[in-house]
Amino acid sequence: MPSQAETVIAVNVIGFVLAMLLIWAIVVAGAVFLGLCVYNDARYRQNPNAGLWGVLSGFFSIAALIYLIVTLTTKDQPRRCVRCGNFLPSSYPGYPGYPGYNVPGGEFCPFCGQPAPFLHPAEAELYARRRKRYLILWIGSMILAVVLAVVLAVASAAMSIMAMTPFMAMTPFAY
C-alpha cells in the first residue's frame, strides 16, 4: 500500500504530464495556424510557392519570419503570363490594382489570349480574411500556451512545497 506522500507525488506527476501534453497540443495547433496564415497570405499575394511556405512555416516558425522578410523587401514584380511567358503590362485592365480591373476581356492575356493567372477579387478577399483569422488564432494559442506554462510552473512549485511540508516537520532540526 503506497503511503500518502507517494500518492501525492504520483498525482503531481500525472497532473504535470497531462498539463504538458495539453500545452504541447496547443503549441502544435498554433504551428498549424501559423502555417495556414502564411499559406493564405502567399495565396493572396499570388506567390507560386504558397504551399511550400505554408508547410515550412508550420514545421519551422523561423520560415514564417523569413517569408515575412522576403515579402516585405521584394519589390512588386510585373505579372507574367504562365502560358506564353510574356510580361503583362501594368496598364492592362486585368492587372490587379488597375481601375478597370475585372472588366470583360481583362481576364485574358493580351498576347496569347489564354486566361490570365489573376485572382478574382472575391477570392482575394477570402484569402485576406483567412490569413487574418489564422493569425489571430496563432497569437491566441501562443498566449494560451505561455499562460498555461506559467500556471503549471506555479502549481508544480506549490504542490512540491505542500508535499514536503509534513516531512519538514519530522526533521530533528529545530527552526
pLDDT in tens, 39-74: 999 988 878 789 999 999 999 999 999 998 988 888
100 within some domain:
yes
25 within some domain:
yes
In terms of domains, do 65 and 125 share one? yes
In terms of domains, do 131 and 159 share one? yes
In terms of domains, do 136 and 157 share one? yes
Give pTM, 2 decimals: 0.72
d(Cα 170, Cα 172) in Å, to the nearest integer? 6
pLDDT in tens, 120-161: 678 888 999 999 999 999 999 999 999 999 998 898 888 777
- How many domains are contained in the chain? 2
109 within some domain:
yes
Q: Give the position of cell 516558425.
A: 61
Q: What is the pLDDT of residue 155?
A: 84
- What sign does the CA torsion over 33, 39, 42, 43 have? negative
Res. 13: pLDDT tops 80: yes
In terms of domains, do 38 and 13 share one? yes
SS (H, E, C) 49-116: CHHHHHHHHHHCHHHHHHHHHHHHHCCCCCCECCCCCCECCCCCCCCCCCCCCCCCCCCECCCCCCEC
Residue range of the domain that includes 62: 4-76+121-166
